[in-house]
Structure 1
């Protein structure tokens, strides 16, 4: 032991806690090593009496690693708010000393080219993951108890778990959200406790603690990997490939407890092997039922949730040869709350999560051969199973937007998908260990055995990036891509005494322009294409190209050139030096079709009633990819805001009930002065309903309503029937007007968009105002009911600009920034920010 008796005495004296409280959780697992303090002794309060801060959780895990040779701690990253992301490894001391060798031997079971030997020779790898939603806090408290039990207990069962298993405890996947909720719950905690549902303790303030710093749902981010929490976890995951992974959650207060098996997967031909979601789940289920029966807890299975979307913590590991397990505990949403069946306490919720944690370890250890053989079979089948002979891989790439291509490759490599270079294009073979992830990135579907999804029904990541691709019959694997640095090649611009041209086709063109504007550089956008000579030779320039005139700057040519070079190095974009304003084709550089770009001064409304996910996506995009500050205005302070200090207002989905008729008029008058209002999804519907614009929503025709079947339906089927009319998340094709400023930088009229709402906007009566309309047969991927598809989506527009006085409202029916992943449609939103002030909706002659 790495612990002294003096230190132990101080700990116990400070805590002063009896063993009675911890017996509520731990009575079946003694005896415990007295030299290792329990969580209650460390914290100074009973587990469940308070919500534990993340730093204390980490501190306790670090303490266990210091005191015991059965534990070791690693750090796999940090959050946006610089909180530690930790993994506590628990096993037999000999295993702890030999972890690297265990890892290498274990990885042989994931490599079809290696002989791993006996599946019984190694300990089973178990990853217990907790608290991905910050305001579902019971599981992190259970993590403390689980860690203590597995480290300190000398019970024969626990000794066996350490001998036959390696348990990785990730105590808090979302520390930023957890601490936001912890602060709320503790500051409103009363003594005695107040269980009234309407007490402030049970009603968090916006944006609540579910999400991370940028208000992202990290339980949707395993596939998309936008945030550091997910990227760090994925790097760790692909280092270890655990056999079992848990995903602990909370749900409505009047529920009970859920464990798998889930509701059947909605896909007609699931990527996940049937053996996983049927055989293995049914193998583990009796362990949970027995353990929960033993403590008198009620539970349910099979009725809810689904693992269709591969980006959950309870589904992504299933595509890596593991068994991923979802748990949902009825939440106390504080320390004590009334339910239909009496009061539910925080301690009770913790005990259920702790009980399931220990049952998971027991089930994994007792079935380690089955689990390891399954993982070996999983990866072997990826390279041996029969696949369509005419699809050896997928070729992709956009030479006109290298940074967007590189971002897509980065995502492929993060998931350990093999990528090979083929000139200025790239190819991904289907026959590789990550074959099922290749399917997730490229394959699309239009048939489903279920029509109600817990979340998205479409996730073909190539479409997220607007990455055009095609199947190929053969793959050249001579040049594997190992990283992105060698793929970035920019043309460094020499100093010019005339002008520079920034290629707007590049994803990071707006970021480079923002950098230049922050440093006082004046710029203009090309509203028509042209061809001219540059320092790199003759080049064609697309709509939106940014022209930076040297003589019109309030700085020397040398200073301007320094900013040009800095922008290039920061954003890896091509900027070209030109020495003449005379173009070979198209407009000259002095043309009136070059229009000055006004630096965006952006305001976004946030607060109660506003969709925090969509607001966070806007904030994240501007913060992390454009490095452009944006003012986030609470709705409660709207009356005090000097709107005239801003030229762009962003409104995402929300009720906006705080905006009465006078405040609505204030917004409309501000837009009329020449400013830009950008509305997304539900906010577009709000703007139309409040008559800020003259556009209309799509409604069913009278004929289609008459033709509907009005037969009597069974009451029990109502939730399913209503649910199938929701658009949970699907991908559709729109036709872009490439000459419109909102489409500048695009080179293909066809663009995939993501729809996860029921906002349908009619094409504008002004023929110049519909920027993007769904095509005649727009479905690309995902489920949508025939009613929604035929009567609402097909006749509608995805993006409309509506004139309001001298200004304009940019109405997005779909979310161009969905989950921080839609690189393909981010440009539409950024164009609205940077070019909005130059959009004039042409008048139509009567």
Structure 2
């Protein structure tokens, strides 16, 4: 045992010496300019000895830009925690002096209108992107080394790289997550280093450093464009259109190193051009192979990672004429960790990422003509493909929800998709699209592939195993009414980010009452704002029609009534508050002068119910899904501007629940809630409060008898259990039965408070789990149920469709004493992008208290 420990210490010291010396990383690039400090000199520790904080990364890159004429630095955005997103631009002095003209020429090559054959006067544009997952840290350390070598090396081959390329180094795509992880591993770093994988250094606390401030996975967010980091990257990308984009990651400690080519897309008709998978990736793979062979690193390709989802850092650029490249390095998850083949050190992981960075630069320069020819042809080819397509475009729009429509258009514009106003009404697919609320997206445009990505749905696949979601039709995410058109309609001016605005009528003062429709996405934000100001608000549980100042107007269930006579604040203060929320959220407030309705209930009817202001709490930590918790946190805080208390599961036993009237439990195990805690929760609900559960939290509530509901368990045929299958195909068989992420249709009871604000009973929802809720025994409590033919988009087996979906509920409400438990089988807030089902969740929060289960 003593000898083993001695060997371990010697090895640890050897690793430290290597990381502190240049020879381990970049001896091939000597000599170096002594006026440019190495990372070790600047940081005062060897790369790999510690994890480098984000502020030090920014400081070092800034210093390089100050000292070298071959570098400039730009802040291209900021994170939720106000950390800088930076790009260090590296090239020859001549290229940097002429970078704007070179950029202009480069963009002409990218344009579908220009046919260029000679690219000799253009450098290749390379975007080296690192550390999108905060606890995959080796790539940022490699970024520091890469920047140093490019700017300090006197080696002729490096000088040639600067002449032939403009290199953008984005060292930390996810600064908030990186610092969360960095602080953890540096805090628990052992001296000597501890390789034991059970040591606290290698086991981060919840929510871990993978995600950003709101616990979002930024590597899934480029297509969805929810978080500020992603929006900043998109804006930068569409300004430059680099030829090559890298996406450096880490994977399991017991693995090796992965580089492209990936697995082919599981789709039978992949959007990404086949040439990208084959010709370009294979051309680069030769360089990765040679350089990794040279340092004796093991690697693999064409496995595990597929290119199906177009929103990764390693796939998004593929739909823009770039070559996007994925790298996955086995992680030390700290400074050193044991594996079946020995220990893996942080310096070792850094070196592989560093080597791959330079392999990318060399491959890009060597294949410059191939890359430029591909990019020059990409958008022209997109126009040609669109011209041959039978589908000439898509018409879309929502007649009721202006903000949700605006948000969808905002998303399209972020991806440079051209959108136009309709000139006249379009009737198709038994749907009507009115010219004042609908829009047209032609397929014949440079972003043809992105148009397809936003609207197309798929039901047939070559494979059943996905690394991630199998569906992403954004029109369904937004519950946007849309239709494909085989003939272009009459359309007029193009929509821009400047013109994509909502105009509302000016509010006039009333002495009697004000009415607000619940149709708009931001209605909950408006309501909360009013409640915070002490305004008493009622909601309608029946529809009605009234005379407003200028016209007759119909109001549906959920509409808000603010009666002037019952308020505790002055009429002037009320008018000011209403004017403020109307202008802030772009929602019309209607002044009325009488309580008498033209049709339906009058304003004094008992069918108007006073709303209680939500005081919400969500359980976090423990076995709770940080992704889902973050989605709720972001929705309430960033969109609805309302607070939510995030209470750790470990202190639930001593939490005073009387402070809250809404508790949210997202997916999780909740093993820390013992019998006493579960009874405490049940008693709290019975006292008249609302518990909201999603996905596995719903099945947890059923299994722990918080509710008297049941799950659907399909009994297996004994004959099938004896079926003999090939061991080598086990992954594929297991993958077929999982619900990796697909879109399905439910029938929603729009007369139920959970369904208020919806006008169509058919609603797309996202499912990526196997939680199957049996419809409630109470005939009025199944709020949403999957339809007979629910499949809209993505992979699903016939077995799952027939045995589960057609029998299952998507949302049920269970009465417990005076309170209720609202159970979602699915996640209505998936990745912060499901605008179409967010309202179901917000309705649960605001209208849960008015649900009266018969």
TM range, normalised to the smaller chain?
over 0.9
- Aligned residue number for residue 282 of structure 2: 282
Q: Secondary structure at 2:314's aligned position in 1?
A: coil
The structural deviation recorded for 1:487 is 3.2
Matches within 5 A, 1:203-352: 203-352=203-352
- Aligned residue number for residue 525 of structure 1: 539
- Aligned residue number for residue 477 of structure 2: 464
8 A contact 1:493–1:535 mirrored in 2:
no
8 A contact 2:386–2:392 mirrored in 1:
no
The structural deviation recorded for 1:98 is 1.1
- Aligned residue number for residue 10 of structure 2: none
User: Does residue 665 of structure 2 align to residue 651 of structure 1?
Assistant: yes
Q: Secondary structure at 2:646's aligned position in 1?
A: strand
8 A contact 2:19–2:49 mirrored in 1:
no
The structural deviation recorded for 1:117 is 5.2
- Aligned residue number for residue 509 of structure 1: 523
- Aligned residue number for residue 584 of structure 1: 598
User: Does residue 446 of structure 2 align to residue 433 of structure 1?
Assistant: yes
Does 617-626 or 380-389 show the bigger shift?
A: 380-389
Give unmatched runs, 5+ long, in structure 2: 1-16, 423-434
- Aligned residue number for residue 353 of structure 1: 353
Matches within 5 A, 1:58-73: 58-73=58-73
- Aligned residue number for residue 432 of structure 2: none
- Aligned residue number for residue 96 of structure 2: 96
Q: Secondary structure at 2:28's aligned position in 1?
A: coil
Q: Equivalents in 1 of 2:805, 2:69: separation in Å?
A: 61
The structural deviation recorded for 1:289 is 1.0
Q: Secondary structure at 2:757's aligned position in 1?
A: coil
The structural deviation recorded for 1:758 is 0.9
Q: Secondary structure at 1:27's aligned position in 2?
A: helix
Q: Secondary structure at 1:64's aligned position in 2?
A: helix
Q: Equivalents in 2 of 1:477, 1:153: separation in Å?
A: 57
Q: Pick from 460, 464, 480: which aligns with 1:451?
A: 464
- Aligned residue number for residue 13 of structure 2: none
The structural deviation recorded for 1:712 is 1.1
Q: Equivalents in 2 of 1:561, 1:400: separation in Å?
A: 24
Q: Secondary structure at 2:734's aligned position in 1?
A: helix
The structural deviation recorded for 1:659 is 0.6
Q: Equivalents in 2 of 1:192, 1:480: separation in Å?
A: 64
- Aligned residue number for residue 431 of structure 2: none
Q: Pick from 629, 641, 649: which aligns with 1:615?
A: 629
Q: Secondary structure at 1:467's aligned position in 2?
A: coil
Q: Secondary structure at 1:213's aligned position in 2?
A: coil
8 A contact 2:409–2:500 mirrored in 1:
no
In structure 2, the CA distance between the partners of 1:466 and 1:18, relative to structure 1 (3 Å rule), is closer
8 A contact 1:760–1:796 mirrored in 2:
yes
Q: Equivalents in 2 of 1:277, 1:115: separation in Å?
A: 24
Does 71-80 or 380-389 show the bigger shift?
A: 380-389
The structural deviation recorded for 1:222 is 0.6
Q: Equivalents in 1 of 2:116, 2:592: separation in Å?
A: 61
Q: Secondary structure at 1:360's aligned position in 2?
A: helix
Q: Secondary structure at 1:250's aligned position in 2?
A: strand
8 A contact 2:394–2:443 mirrored in 1:
yes
In structure 2, the CA distance between the partners of 1:477 and 1:382, relative to structure 1 (3 Å rule), is farther
- Aligned residue number for residue 428 of structure 2: none
- Aligned residue number for residue 821 of structure 1: 833
* Aligned pairs, number: 824
Q: Equivalents in 1 of 2:206, 2:574: separation in Å?
A: 43
- Aligned residue number for residue 3 of structure 1: none
Q: Secondary structure at 1:337's aligned position in 2?
A: strand
8 A contact 2:410–2:500 mirrored in 1:
no
- Aligned residue number for residue 806 of structure 1: 818
8 A contact 1:234–1:415 mirrored in 2:
yes
- Aligned residue number for residue 767 of structure 1: 779
Q: Secondary structure at 1:574's aligned position in 2?
A: coil
The structural deviation recorded for 1:303 is 1.6
Q: Equivalents in 2 of 1:80, 1:264: separation in Å?
A: 35
User: Does residue 835 of structure 2 align to residue 835 of structure 1?
Assistant: no
In structure 2, the CA distance between the partners of 1:564 and 1:713, relative to structure 1 (3 Å rule), is same
Q: Equivalents in 2 of 1:380, 1:62: separation in Å?
A: 39
- Aligned residue number for residue 200 of structure 1: 200
Q: Equivalents in 1 of 2:526, 2:118: separation in Å?
A: 55
The structural deviation recorded for 1:701 is 4.6
8 A contact 1:409–1:484 mirrored in 2:
no
Q: Equivalents in 1 of 2:374, 2:495: separation in Å?
A: 30
8 A contact 2:420–2:440 mirrored in 1:
yes
The structural deviation recorded for 1:121 is 2.3
- Aligned residue number for residue 366 of structure 2: 366
Q: Secondary structure at 2:21's aligned position in 1?
A: helix
- Aligned residue number for residue 795 of structure 1: 807
8 A contact 2:19–2:47 mirrored in 1:
no
Q: Equivalents in 2 of 1:79, 1:545: separation in Å?
A: 37
- Aligned residue number for residue 573 of structure 1: 587
For residues 269-315 of structure 1, the C-alpha deviation after alignment (integer angstroms, 9 at most, x for no partner) is 10000000111111111111111111111111112111100010011
Q: Secondary structure at 1:46's aligned position in 2?
A: coil
Q: Secondary structure at 2:807's aligned position in 1?
A: coil
- Aligned residue number for residue 402 of structure 1: 402
Q: Secondary structure at 2:96's aligned position in 1?
A: helix
- Aligned residue number for residue 384 of structure 2: 384
8 A contact 2:624–2:669 mirrored in 1:
yes
- Aligned residue number for residue 619 of structure 2: 605
Q: Secondary structure at 2:288's aligned position in 1?
A: helix
For residues 77-99 of structure 1, the C-alpha deviation after alignment (integer angstroms, 9 at most, x for no partner) is 00000000000110111111111
Does 134-143 or 489-498 show the bigger shift?
A: 489-498
- Aligned residue number for residue 753 of structure 1: 765
The structural deviation recorded for 1:471 is 1.4
Q: Pick from 713, 726, 746: which aligns with 1:714?
A: 726
The structural deviation recorded for 1:120 is 2.7
Q: Equivalents in 1 of 2:18, 2:138: separation in Å?
A: 22
Does 485-494 or 534-543 show the bigger shift?
A: 485-494
Q: Equivalents in 2 of 1:401, 1:499: separation in Å?
A: 23
For residues 332-367 of structure 1, the C-alpha deviation after alignment (integer angstroms, 9 at most, x for no partner) is 010011111111110000000000000000000000
The structural deviation recorded for 1:478 is 3.0
User: Does residue 796 of structure 2 align to residue 784 of structure 1?
Assistant: yes
8 A contact 1:761–1:797 mirrored in 2:
yes
The structural deviation recorded for 1:154 is 2.0
In structure 2, the CA distance between the partners of 1:386 and 1:517, relative to structure 1 (3 Å rule), is closer
8 A contact 2:18–2:24 mirrored in 1:
no
- Aligned residue number for residue 9 of structure 1: none
For residues 62-115 of structure 1, the C-alpha deviation after alignment (integer angstroms, 9 at most, x for no partner) is 111111111111111000000000001101111111111111111112211134
In structure 2, the CA distance between the partners of 1:761 and 1:574, relative to structure 1 (3 Å rule), is same
- Aligned residue number for residue 632 of structure 1: 646
Q: Equivalents in 2 of 1:20, 1:416: separation in Å?
A: 46
Q: Secondary structure at 1:565's aligned position in 2?
A: helix
- Aligned residue number for residue 4 of structure 1: none
Does 262-271 or 47-56 show the bigger shift?
A: 262-271
TM-score scaled to structure 1, two decimals? 0.96
